[in-house]
Amino acid sequence: CRSFRWHFTIQQRCGFKKATRKPESKRVVPEEPGPPHTESSEAAIQRRTPAPQWDQQAPSGPPRAFGRLFRPLVFTVGFTGCAFGSAAIWQYESLKSRVQSYFDEIRADWLEKLQPQKRGDVRKEVNQWWNNLSDGQKTVTGIIAANAIVFCCWRVPSLQRSMIRYFTSNPTSKTLCSPMLLSTFSHFSFFHLAANMYVLWSFSSSAVSMLGREQFMAVYLSAGVISTFVSYVSKMATGRFGPSLGASGAIMAILAAVCTKMPEAKLAIIFLPMFTFTAANALKAIVAMDTAGLVLGWKFFDHAAHLGGAMFGIWYVLFGHELIWKNREPFVKIWHNFRTRGGPGRGGDQGGAM
């Protein structure tokens, strides 16, 4: 796996406050007349875009109130089921529209030959670049774009409070469920964002060719929520509270799935391409390091989220694909019956169930 990216905690990366301090009384001192004070441009920019501040909170009630995890558990199970159900419907609709898309492409090629070619057409160049991408790279382009948008939102001072509340996961926060998904698309550090997206881009082609784009999206989104839930449980059990963010848990699931399915594949680190190793050894090293970090209490990464994502990816390749994806046919038939009965003129449409 080339250039692994990790799930940083905001507490470590952004210098949040550990505890609130009582405001000191201020004395009003009359200002003496003098020349107007001019502020440097760098100081002005730093003042207008401060780093987000976070006051560490203790969970309400007992320090380790596992009852707070009931709603996140229900959300994790429900979201995972909805993700795979939506993926099955997506695949059904894609297969039904494949024939129509084929004829549309033939018509588009015919019209393109009739129309005069434009030199320097930006749209044509973009389409050519898009068509040269693999299915996996096309699939993750939307994920990368969403992460980039959220990264830009962190730079808006007026959004800081909302970003901390909804785009960082913390079991002591008042908002528990929605951040389990939204924090998967959240990065405060540019290096964190770049490293994560590079690894996702690198493994996208192999993962999508192995799972298909619909199943890939279901695994990716479910892994993001599941890894956050594992992080919640770990923080409650150890008492090491603090906000976390990043796509590491979801990407770890994809990485682990590919390495489990293709253990003999050769991988290399981007900065050391001369050293290669098998995917199986890379996965063992990552799991061992995160296990050590979790046991020893290393705080720079959210090691519990890494392990949760990796374990889900391994489980899904070994057992989950057979248990979930290959048993989707009854659900797809229900959707097929609903589609054929709903809407005018669909009574005779009986094809395309799978």
What the block records as the tokens of 183 is 């924090």
Residues β-bridged to residue 301 = 8
- 301: phi then psi, degrees, rounded to nearest 5: -115, 160
248 assigned to active site = yes
Q: 248-261 and 190-211 are packed helices; what angle lies between their axes, rounded to 10 degrees?
A: 40
Classify 243 as helix, strand or coil: coil
Catalytic residue (one of 192, 306, 321, 336)? 306
Catalytic residue (one of 248, 303, 321, 336)? 248
Rounded Cα distance, 342 and 97, in Å:
17
- 268: phi then psi, degrees, rounded to nearest 5: -150, 155
Give buried/exposed letters for 160-193 (b at 16+ CB in 10 A, else e).
beebbbbbbbbbbbeebbebbbbbbbbbbbeebb
Alpha carbon separation from 238 to 6, 65, 205, 234, 309 (Å, rounded) = 21, 12, 38, 6, 19
Exposed (0-12), middle (13-18) or buried (19+): which is 271, by Cβ within 10 Å? exposed
244 assigned to active site = no
What the block records as the tokens of 303 is 């090691």
Exposed (0-12), middle (13-18) or buried (19+): which is 339, by Cβ within 10 Å? middle
Find, among 69, 73, 53, 248, the residue nearest to 171 by Cα. Answer: 69
Query: Which residues carry out catalysis?
Result: 248, 306
